[in-house]
Amino acid sequence: MKIFTFTKRKIWSCRYLYVMIVFYCLSCVLSPGPSVELHVDSAQTMVFASSGGNATLPCRFWFEPELSLAREVRIKWSRTSAAGGPEDDVLVAIGNRSRSFGNFRGRVHLRQDSAGDAALIMTELQLNDTGRYRCEVVDGLEDRNSAVHLELRGTGRLTNMYVVFVL
CATH number at residue 81: 2.60.40.10
Does residue 128 fall inside a structural domain? yes
Does residue 76 fall inside a structural domain? yes
The parent domain of residue 129 ranges over 37-152
Does residue 103 fall inside a structural domain? yes
Question: What is the per-residue pLDDT for 112?
Answer: 86
Question: What is the per-residue pLDDT for 35?
Answer: 86
Does residue 139 fall inside a structural domain? yes
Euclidean distance between CA atoms 25 and 35, whole angstroms: 20
Does residue 28 fall inside a structural domain? no
Q: Is 46 exposed, middle or buried (0-12, 13-18, 19+ CB in 10 A)?
A: exposed
Taking alpha carbons only, the member of 72, 81, 106 closest to residue 91 is: 106
Does residue 11 fall inside a structural domain? no
Question: What is the per-residue pLDDT for 113?
Answer: 86
Residue 121 pairs with which residues in a beta bridge? 56, 109
Question: What is the per-residue pLDDT for 162?
Answer: 46
**Could you tell me which residues come within 8 angstroms of residue 133 by beta carbon, excluding any fewer than 6 positions away?**
57, 77, 78, 79, 90, 120, 147, 148, 149, 150
Look at the chain and report how many structural domains it folds into: 1
Would you give per-residue pLDDT tens digits along the chain (167 residues)? 556 565 656 655 656 656 566 555 545 444 445 588 999 999 999 999 999 999 999 999 999 988 877 789 999 999 998 777 889 999 999 988 999 999 999 999 999 888 899 999 999 999 999 999 999 999 999 999 999 999 998 765 544 444 445 55
Question: What is the per-residue pLDDT for 131?
Answer: 95
Question: What is the per-residue pLDDT for 103?
Answer: 94
Look up residue 84 and give its amino acid: G
Does residue 102 fall inside a structural domain? yes
50 with 125: CB under 8 angstroms?
A: yes
69 with 87: CB under 8 angstroms?
A: no
Question: What is the per-residue pLDDT for 139?
Answer: 94
Does residue 163 fall inside a structural domain? no
